[in-house]
């Protein structure tokens, strides 16, 4: 359980960091909309994986 949670946190930190750095460098309106959509689905996937981890305890 602990290894899976550490992996989930590392995945979340890596993905968030990548989205943040791309957001800083690309400021076009189309890119912003695309990044918001990717960030939304990324957040949904992180929450879903976390719920699966909590149920597996």
How much is the pLDDT for 13?
Answer: 92
- Please state the separation of Cα 28 from the chain's center in Å: 21
Q: What does pTM read for this prediction?
A: 0.76
The string of DSSP codes covering 1-57 is -HHHHHHHHHHHHHHHHHHHHHHHH---HHHHHHHHHHHHHHHHHHHHHHHHHHHT-
The string of pLDDT tens digits covering residues 31-48 is 888 888 999 999 999 999
User: Residue 20's pLDDT band (boundaries 50, 70, 90)?
Assistant: confident
How much is the pLDDT for 21?
Answer: 87
Percent of the chain at pLDDT exceeding 90: 25
């Amino acid at each position: 359980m602990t290894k899976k949670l550490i992996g989930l946190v590392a995945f979340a930190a890596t993905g968030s960091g990548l989205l943040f750095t791309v957001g800083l460098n690309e400021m076009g309106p189309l890119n912003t909309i695309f990044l918001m959509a990717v960030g939304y689905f990324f957040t949904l996937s992180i929450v879903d994986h976390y719920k699966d981890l909590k149920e597996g305890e």
